[in-house]
Structure formats: C-alpha cells, structure tokens
Amino acid sequence: MHGNLSGWHLIILAVIWIIPFVVTVVSIARNRVASGTAKAVWVLIALLVPWIGLILWFTIGRTPAPAD
C-alpha cells in the first residue's frame, strides 16, 4: 500500500502531522473568546481538513482576547 516506506518513515510522517495538530487543538482549547460550539467546530475542521484547517485557525480563527 505504501510502497517502499518502512516503519520509520511512517512514524516520521505521522509525527509531522500529529505535532501541528496537537498544537492547534491546544490553541483552540485555550482560546477564551470562542464558545464551546465554535471550539468544537474548529477542532472538526482541523481534523477533517488537516493542513488547511490548521492554517485557517492560525490565520483567521484566533481572535485576541478583549483587554480588561
């Protein structure tokens, strides 16, 4: 199925995807402005459309917290 990719290659490719995904999910969870529903939608977007979802979150999804 994966041709000549060995186990190490697959592990490296998985890590290359997992680390940015985890960073994005943590960023979404820590966002104080977004509601629970909005956070769930952003996590689904990041999961269903991996690289595009990550880029969209960091470019348009994050909103700064209001100044106290």
pLDDT of 1: 53
Distances (CA, A) of 10 to 1, 3, 16, 54: 12, 11, 10, 21
pLDDT of 50: 83
pLDDT of 61: 84
pLDDT above 80 (res 64): no
Which helix (H) or strand (E) element contains residue 43? helix 36-48
For residue 39, give the amino acid letter.
K
pLDDT digits (tens, 9 = 90+) for 5-54: 677 888 888 888 899 999 999 999 998 888 889 999 999 999 999 889 99
pLDDT of 37: 92
58 Cβ neighbours under 8 A, 6+ residues apart: 24, 27
